[in-house]
Amino acid sequence: MVDIPSVSVHELKTLLDSNDAFVLLDTRRDGDAKKYWISSSKRLHMSVHELTKKFAELPKNKPLYILDKSGKRSALISRFLVSKGFNDLTM
């Protein structure tokens, strides 16, 4: 099993405000994503269902930060992405 690092909300906010190149993969349900909107060009909203079909569209040359409401979904998605060859993942 792969150990995926995690960041706090405050660390994520600092990253979003930085010039660092990464993708924030927002896997929250539509209602939560709309209610707690993150306005950033780094954000990509994708449901788990979409992700299983479109994971090849995600860049492997940039870090991926996986966001969900509770952390359960991001752990599942991280394992899935590792199995597809993604290495630079953070929850």
Reported as a single tens digit per residue, the pLDDT across 23-36 is 999 999 888 888 88
CA-based end-to-end distance of the chain: 15
Question: Contact 80/51 with Cβ under 8 angstroms?
Answer: yes
* Distance from C-alpha of 83 to C-alpha of 45, rounded to nearest angstrom: 21
77: exposed, middle or buried (Cβ count in 10 Å: 0-12, 13-18, 19+): buried
At residue 39 the predicted structure's pLDDT band, cuts being 50, 70 and 90, is confident
**pLDDT for position 6:** 92
pTM > 0.95: yes or no: no
Q: Which two tokens stand for residue 88?
A: 């630079």
Give how far the C-alpha of residue 15 lies from the chain's centroid of Cα atoms, to the nearest Å: 13
At residue 1 the predicted structure's pLDDT band, cuts being 50, 70 and 90, is low
Q: What percent of the chain has pLDDT over 90?
A: 69
